[in-house]
Structure 1
């Protein structure tokens, strides 16, 4: 799925992840749906805030492995020079907790370069899913 690199695009990405997971057997308000939607929201928000290149969209890919019962969320942007780093924000900081949440909720997460386009992909996996 492709979205505009705006707050509205990030919000739509989160909602569509939740919708697709519901359609694919992970109901709204289930642990897997809630966790995946939160991770998607954080990754999409980071793509908009830190990976935005004017005139370029970000992409979200959602993959369910029914055998391993895992969900993989991938968010790609076109900004190569700004790689995400996991840091602990100051207690009074107003931002900087997105990747901390992703790392806490995901089974695995990381970054990969985009082989066919400029930029990077930040991905996270959760699973095995508790509602399966």
Structure 2
């Protein structure tokens, strides 16, 4: 199943996005990982794309199947992104995609006529 929700482009929406993901994943083994990663993706969208400006918005999609979830954040960005490498030890920013890469089993970036989507997948073994 897939659920989507569109949020105003405000940093104050990040806790609501985290709660949305947690509510859908419940007690699955990768809930904490997915919640952390969606927070990073949403924060990047708000900080680095027009979604964080006046009237901006982001859309979060969560797909859940047995042993699998995918979180995705879509925004009106142009699709230009790159890893910045390792930030220095005291830098306040620059670790978001490193966190995504460390916690997700797979992640990617798609650009289309409406903007861009960053997504991450999480897999676990159902018992």
Q: TM-score range by the shorter chain?
A: 0.7 to 0.9
CA spacing shift, 1:56–1:20, aligned 2, 3 Å: same
Matched residue of 1:37: which SS? Answer: helix
Residue 130 of structure 1 and its aligned partner are, at CA, apart by 5.0
Q: Which runs of 5+ in 2 are unaligned?
A: none
- 1:37 is matched with 35
Which has the larger share of strand?
Answer: 2
- Backbone CA RMSD of aligned residues: 1.8
Contact preservation (8 Å) 1:42, 1:99: yes
Residue 87 of structure 1 and its aligned partner are, at CA, apart by 2.2
Once residues 69 and 19 of structure 2 are traced to their aligned partners in structure 1, the CA distance between those partners, rounded to angstroms, is 16
CA spacing shift, 1:114–1:10, aligned 2, 3 Å: farther
Q: TM-score, normalised by structure 2?
A: 0.85
- The reply on whether 1:90 has 2:88 as its aligned counterpart is yes
CA spacing shift, 1:63–1:81, aligned 2, 3 Å: closer
Matched residue of 2:18: which SS? Answer: helix
Deviations 1:68-95 (A, max 9, x none): x211011011011542435211112111
- 1:9 is matched with 13
Contact preservation (8 Å) 1:57, 1:77: yes
Structure 1 residue ranges, 4+ long, deviating more than 3 angstroms after superposition: none
Once residues 81 and 20 of structure 1 are traced to their aligned partners in structure 2, the CA distance between those partners, rounded to angstroms, is 28
Matched residue of 1:122: which SS? Answer: strand
Once residues 29 and 91 of structure 2 are traced to their aligned partners in structure 1, the CA distance between those partners, rounded to angstroms, is 28
Contact preservation (8 Å) 2:79, 2:116: no
Q: Which runs of 5+ in 1 are unaligned?
A: none
